[in-house]
Structure 1
Amino acid sequence: MLVKKYQAIMLITIGMVLGILVTAFSYSRLTSKATEGTSTAAERKVLFWYDPMYPATKFDKPGPSPFMDMDLVPKYADEGSDEVAGVTISPTQVQNLGLRTDIAETGKLTYQQSLPANVNFNQYQYEIVHARASGFVEKSYPLAVGDYVKKGEPLVAITVSDWVSAQSEYLTLLRTNASPALLKGVLERLYLAGMPKSLINQLNKTKKIQSYLTIRAPISGVLTSFDLRSSMTMNKSALIATIQGIDPIWVVASVPESLTDLLTKDTQLTIEVPALPEQQFKITDWQILSNAQADTRTLSLRLFVANPDHKLKPGMSAIVKLQTETQDYVLVPSQAIINTGDEQRVITQDEQGRFIPKRIKIYAEASGKTAILSGLKAGEKIITSGLFLIDSEANINGALERMREQPADKTNQHNMTGHQGAH
C-alpha cells in the first residue's frame, strides 16, 4: 500500500516538472519570434508620413495631421515598386471599395446633337432688274415687296423714246438695201442703248418701230425691292426690282468648331421646323462655310432644302439634327476618365492585379463613351468606380510621377477629314 502511494506521488511530481519545462520552452519561442518581428518592423524604411485624406502633402516626421484630427501614416519603401508605375491593393480593400472594371474596346463613337438654325433666302438665286434705258413707266403691274413672282411674269411696261430714232434709221437703211455691215452697226447701237435682243428680233420680223418694252422677271422668287409705279420717269440706271429665290431654300446653323471634324459624307442630317411640326423636308446638299465666328467659336453649316410648295419662309426658325459616327477608336466609359484640368488619365489593372495609372489623350465624348486618341490599347482592363481612392494611393506611391516621366503611347492615333458638300 505504501509503495503504491509513493509511486503516485512520483508520477505527479514528474508531470509538474514536465509542464514547467514545456511552458518555459514555449515562452522562449514566442519571445524569440516577437523579438524577430520587432526587429523586422524596425528595419522597414519609412519614406515619408502623410495624411490619407491629403495624400499629395508629404511630411518628413511623424506627428498629428495639420488637416484632420488623426496621426500621420508612414509610407514604407517596400510598399511600392519602381519598376512598374502602379499600386497594389489587398483583395479585402478591393471588395470594400466596390471596384468595378470594364474592358477598353475598339469601336465607333456615335454622336448626336440638335442645333438651332434659321431659314434664309437662297443667295445663289439673286437677280437685280434694271431697265438699261431711260424712259417713262406706262404701266406698273400690281406687285409689292414680299410677293412671289414666276420667271417671265411682267413687272412694268415702259416707253423708251431714245430707241425710236435708231430704229427709224435701221428701217430706212433696210429699205435702201444698205450694206450688211452698216445694218449690223445700227443694231449694235440699239443693243448698247438697252434694247433687249427679243425686241430687236421683233423689229426685224415686223419691220415696225418697237418703243414699248415690258420688263419681266428673269427668275422665280420673292420680290425684295420694287419701287417703280405708273407715270414715273426713270433713267437707265434706275433699279426696278430685286428678286431672291427660295427653292431650294437655305437653312443655316452654327456648329461648334470642335464638331466640324465629325461632319463627314456619312453624317445624317434632318430638319425640323416648329411652325410646321408635321412637315418633312428633303436636304439636297450641305456645306461647311470657310469662315469661323471668332466670338462664338462656331462655323456655319449651310443646308440646301427643297421647297417646291414654298412652305419654308425666310426668317423662320428651324432645328437641325445631326447624327454621325467617328472612325474606329479605343472606347471607354466616360466615368472611367479622371480629368484634372492639366491632364486626363485612367486607372488600369494588369494581370498581376496591380492598379496602374495611364495618361491618355481624348478625342471626343458622346453618349457616355469617350474616344481615346492615345495612351490606352484595346483589351486593357480599366477601373470605372472607386477611382478617387486608387488615384490617391497612386499619388502617395509615386506612380503618378513615374507615369508622367514615361512617353505617351501614340499607337492609337487616327486622323479624320471632314466633308464639305458643294452646290
Structure 2
Amino acid sequence: MKSTHITAAVLVGAGLAAAGFLAGKYTGAPAEKVASVPASGPTSERKVLYWHDPMVPGPRFDKPGKSPFMDMQLVPVYADEQNDTGVKVSAGVQQNLGIRTAKVIRTQLASSFDAVGTVQFDERLTEAVQTRVNGYVERLLVRATMEYVRRGQPLAVIYAPDWLGPQNEYLALKRAGVPQDLVDAARDRMRAMSIPDALIRQSEQVGAAQARFSVPAPVSGVVAELGVREGVAVTSGMTLFRIAGLERVWAVAEVPEVQAVRLRRGQKVKAALQADASQTFDGELQEILPQVSANTRTVQARFEVANRAGRLTPGMLLRLQVAGPVTSRLVVPAEAVIRTGTRAVAIVRKENGSFEPRDIALGADLGDQLEVVQGLGEGDQVVASGQFLVDSEARLKSVLGGMAAAGQASGPASSAGPEAKAPPAAGIFAAQGKVESVDPDGITISHGPVPELKWPGMTMGFSKPTPNAFPGVKAGDMVSFQFKQGGPMGYELVAVQPAGAGK
C-alpha cells in the first residue's frame, strides 16, 4: 500500500514536469520575443554636457549636486542649449510680465519734415521810385508806409521847373516850321532829360510847357519805404518810395543742421497759416543761406510761397511741410529700442522661443518708428514691451558681452567671501586632484583646496591652452597641475603632471 502511494506521487511529479516543459516550449519563446521588442515612443533623452552654477558660469562639473559657490543646486547644461545664447522665458511668465513683440517691417516713407517759417517780403519784387529832375513835392498822395497801392496808381505830384525850358524850345521849333530833324533833335533832348512821354504829349495838346507831373506806382504792393514828405525839395536820383510786391513772399525757416543736409533746391513745400491751418499755400525751396547759427545749430532756408490773393503779410508764421523723395526703409517701433548712450539694442525673439539681445544701427528718427540700417532683418520679432526685464536676464547670462569674462575671472575668488580678492593676472597657482573628464577644450578636475585663492576643494573645469595640449592625461589620473587666470572657463592650465595612474 505504501509503495503504491510513492509510485503515484512520482507519476504526478513527472506529469507536472512534462507540463512545465511543454508550457516553456510553447510560451517561453514568445515571451522572450515580446521582451526584446523596444517600447513604443521616444526613448532618447536630452544629453547633459555638464552642470554649472549660473551665478558663476565658468567652472563646470560632471555630476549634479550643490554648488560650492552659492547656496543652490547645480544646473544642467544640455547639448541642444550649448550654442543657444538666448534667454528662455515661459509663456506664463511672458504673460505676467506683459512681454509684447512687434514685427520689423519695410515701408515706403518720404523724407519729409515740418518747419516753422516767418513771412518776409520777396526782395526780388521790390521796386524803387525815383525822380530824375530837381524839383518839389507839390502833392503827396501816399502818406504812410505799408499802404497798399496798385500798379499805375499816382503816388505824388512833382513840380519840375527845369523841364520848362526844353519843352518851350521844342514847341517853338514846331511852330516855326523848321526842318523835322531839328524838331526830332529837340524831342530827343527832352527824353534824355527823362521828361516822360505823357508829359510831352500833354504839352503838345495844350500848346504850353508843363512843369507838374505825377509819379505812378510801378508795381502793385505795399509802400515799404516812404522817403519824402509834402513840400520838400527833391533832387535827381533821390528815392521817393520803395514798393514791395506781394504776388510772392518768402518764408524763412530755421532748419536743424541734421535735416538741412536733405534739402535740395526746388523741393516742393506745402504751407499753412499757423493761426488757421485751413488756409494753405504752395511753394518751393529757393535758397539755403550759407550760414549756420552757432547757438542753435540751424540753417536758414528761404522758401518762395505764392500769394496772389495777398493774404500773407510780413511777420506771419507759416507751418511748412517739406516733401522729400520716397524711399524704402526698414523700421521698428521706437519703444522696442534700448538706448545705452553708446549703442542701441533690440531684444529679438528667436525661432525656438528664446530671446536674444542684438546690437543695431539706427537711421532716421520717424517719430513713433525708427529706421534700422543694420542688425535686424525684415520679419524679425522684437520685444516692444518688457524688454528691459529680458535685457536684465540676458546680462546675467553675459549675452551683451563684456560681463562674461569678468564674471568668470572673479567668480571663484569672490565666492569665498566678501574679503576675498582676485589674484593677479600673471599669478600661477598649483593644486593636486583627480582628472574626472577630458574634453577638447578643457579638463575637469576634482582638486583639493587652493589657499592662495581661498578655494575649498571642488570639481571644476580648466581650459586648455590648445586643443592638443596634455595628450597623455586621461580620466581617472591623479595629477599635480598648475593654472592661471584666463581662458574661456575663467582659468587655464599651464602644466599637468601625472602623479599616478588611475584604476
TM-score range, shorter chain: 0.5 to 0.7
2:90 aligns with 91
**One-letter code aligned to 1:306:** N
- Partners of 1:39 and 1:227 lie apart in 2 by 96
Does 2:241 correspond to 1:235? no
Report how many residues are paired: 342
- Is the partner of 2:213 in helix, strand or coil? strand
**Structure 1 residues 259 and 40 mapped into 2: Cα distance closer, same or farther (>3 Å)?**
closer
2:225 aligns with 225
Does 2:287 correspond to 1:289? yes
Structure 2 unaligned segments of length 5 or more: list them: 1-46, 60-67, 403-503
- Partners of 1:244 and 1:152 lie apart in 2 by 14
- Is the partner of 2:166 in helix, strand or coil? helix
Do the aligned partners of 2:135 and 2:159 also contact (CA within 8 Å) in 1?
yes
Deviation at residue 240 of structure 1 after TM alignment: 0.9
**Structure 1 residues 186 and 370 mapped into 2: Cα distance closer, same or farther (>3 Å)?**
same
1:302 aligns with 303
Does 2:135 correspond to 1:144? no
**One-letter code aligned to 2:273:** E
- Partners of 1:145 and 1:161 lie apart in 2 by 28
Deviation at residue 226 of structure 1 after TM alignment: 2.0
Q: CA deviation digits over 1:177-211, x for unaligned, max 9?
A: 4574x666554543343323444566677775343
Deviation at residue 348 of structure 1 after TM alignment: 1.7
Do the aligned partners of 1:268 and 1:324 also contact (CA within 8 Å) in 2?
no
- Is the partner of 2:107 in helix, strand or coil? strand
Q: Which moved more, 1:163-172 or 1:136-145?
A: 163-172
1:159 aligns with 159
Q: Which moved more, 1:240-249 or 1:336-345?
A: 240-249
**One-letter code aligned to 1:167:** Q
- Partners of 2:150 and 2:355 lie apart in 1 by 73
**One-letter code aligned to 1:153:** Q
**One-letter code aligned to 1:281:** Q
1:21 aligns with none
For the aligned residues, what is the CA RMSD? 4.4
1:17 aligns with none
**One-letter code aligned to 2:307:** A
1:58 aligns with none
2:341 aligns with 341
Do the aligned partners of 2:48 and 2:77 also contact (CA within 8 Å) in 1?
no
- Partners of 2:55 and 2:318 lie apart in 1 by 69
- Partners of 2:55 and 2:143 lie apart in 1 by 96
- Partners of 1:237 and 1:73 lie apart in 2 by 101
Q: How does 1:63-82 map to 2 (within 5 A)?
A: none
Deviation at residue 98 of structure 1 after TM alignment: 3.8
Larger Rg: 2
Q: How does 1:17-416 map to 2 (within 5 A)?
A: 41=51, 47-48=57-58, 86-91=85-90, 94=94, 97-109=97-109, 115-171=115-171, 175=176, 177-178=178-179, 180=181, 186-199=186-199, 208-260=208-260, 269-274=270-275, 277=276, 280-287=278-285, 289-291=287-289, 293-294=292-293, 295-298=295-298, 299-300=300-301, 302-308=303-309, 310-320=310-320, 326-401=326-401
- Partners of 1:79 and 1:385 lie apart in 2 by 31
- Partners of 2:235 and 2:210 lie apart in 1 by 19
Structure 1 unaligned segments of length 5 or more: list them: 1-36, 50-61, 65-70, 403-423
- Partners of 1:185 and 1:96 lie apart in 2 by 103
Q: CA deviation digits over 1:343-375, x for unaligned, max 9?
A: 223222232334333332322333522222333
**One-letter code aligned to 1:286:** E
Deviation at residue 215 of structure 1 after TM alignment: 0.7
Q: CA deviation digits over 1:230-252, x for unaligned, max 9?
A: 33221113221111122334444
- Partners of 1:129 and 1:259 lie apart in 2 by 41
Deviation at residue 167 of structure 1 after TM alignment: 3.4
Q: CA deviation digits over 1:236-270, x for unaligned, max 9?
A: 13221111122334444433344457779897734
- Is the partner of 1:164 in helix, strand or coil? helix
Do the aligned partners of 2:119 and 2:314 also contact (CA within 8 Å) in 1?
yes
- Partners of 2:261 and 2:400 lie apart in 1 by 32
- Partners of 1:133 and 1:39 lie apart in 2 by 107
- Partners of 2:56 and 2:80 lie apart in 1 by 12
**Structure 1 residues 318 and 267 mapped into 2: Cα distance closer, same or farther (>3 Å)?**
closer
Do the aligned partners of 2:269 and 2:283 also contact (CA within 8 Å) in 1?
no
**One-letter code aligned to 1:302:** F
**Structure 1 residues 199 and 76 mapped into 2: Cα distance closer, same or farther (>3 Å)?**
farther
**One-letter code aligned to 2:284:** W
- Is the partner of 1:144 in helix, strand or coil? coil
Q: CA deviation digits over 1:131-168, x for unaligned, max 9?
A: 02111222222532221111111111112233333334
Do the aligned partners of 2:150 and 2:219 also contact (CA within 8 Å) in 1?
yes
Deviation at residue 282 of structure 1 after TM alignment: 4.1
**Structure 1 residues 134 and 217 mapped into 2: Cα distance closer, same or farther (>3 Å)?**
same
Identical aligned residues as a percent: 25
Q: Normalized against structure 1, the TM-score is what?
A: 0.65
- Partners of 1:90 and 1:273 lie apart in 2 by 50
Q: Which moved more, 1:141-150 or 1:124-133?
A: 141-150
- Partners of 1:336 and 1:142 lie apart in 2 by 64
**One-letter code aligned to 1:89:** K
Q: Normalized against structure 2, the TM-score is what?
A: 0.56
Per chain length, whose mean CA-contact separation is higher, i.e. which structure has more relative contact order (CA < 8 Å, sep 6+)?
Answer: 1
**Structure 1 residues 335 and 226 mapped into 2: Cα distance closer, same or farther (>3 Å)?**
same
Do the aligned partners of 1:131 and 1:237 also contact (CA within 8 Å) in 2?
yes
